[in-house]
Amino acid sequence: MRCFADGDIESVLSHIHPLATLDWSNSNAPDRGVYTGHAAWQAFLSARDDVLGDRRFDSVELLTPADDTVVLIGRVQERGRTSGIEVESRGAAVWKLRGGKIIRFTIYQSSDEALKATGLTH
């Protein structure tokens, strides 16, 4: 998350499996969708960086319900590059890992949704 906040897309991709899926379909943002593979991740991350800057992540809770699963519950703050308007959203993300790399990253609008997806409750 730190690499993404810093806009270091190459470092982000070094932690992601080449065939990984970024599931952003639960988002309320215009770029909601499902992205697979490094090229799709790079296009998604670059497009977000083009319009949003000054990104900061605050982790409220980090859970590891299984060896291959990480749940992040937190908040992101970003500022529009053109408008200067600051946006803040709270939510959660679930990372699935394989061989030490992210194979799937799914965002959720609430911690309850993410926990339910992993079989946990809050």
Q: pLDDT tens digits, the chain, 122 residues: what are they?
A: 555 555 567 888 889 999 999 999 998 888 899 999 999 999 998 888 888 877 777 877 889 989 999 999 999 888 888 999 998 888 899 999 999 999 999 999 999 999 999 988 76
pTM of the model: 0.83
Q: Which residues pair with 106 in a beta bridge?
A: 23, 94
pLDDT of 7 reads: 59
Angstrom CA distances, 65 to 13, 36, 94, 118, stand at 24, 24, 10, 7
Where does 2-117 sit in CATH, by number? 3.10.450.50
Phi, psi of 9 (to 5 degrees): -65, -40
Note the pLDDT of residue 97: 95
Integer Cα distance of 35 and 82 in angstroms: 26
Domains of the chain: which residue ranges?
2-117
CA distance 87 to 93: 18
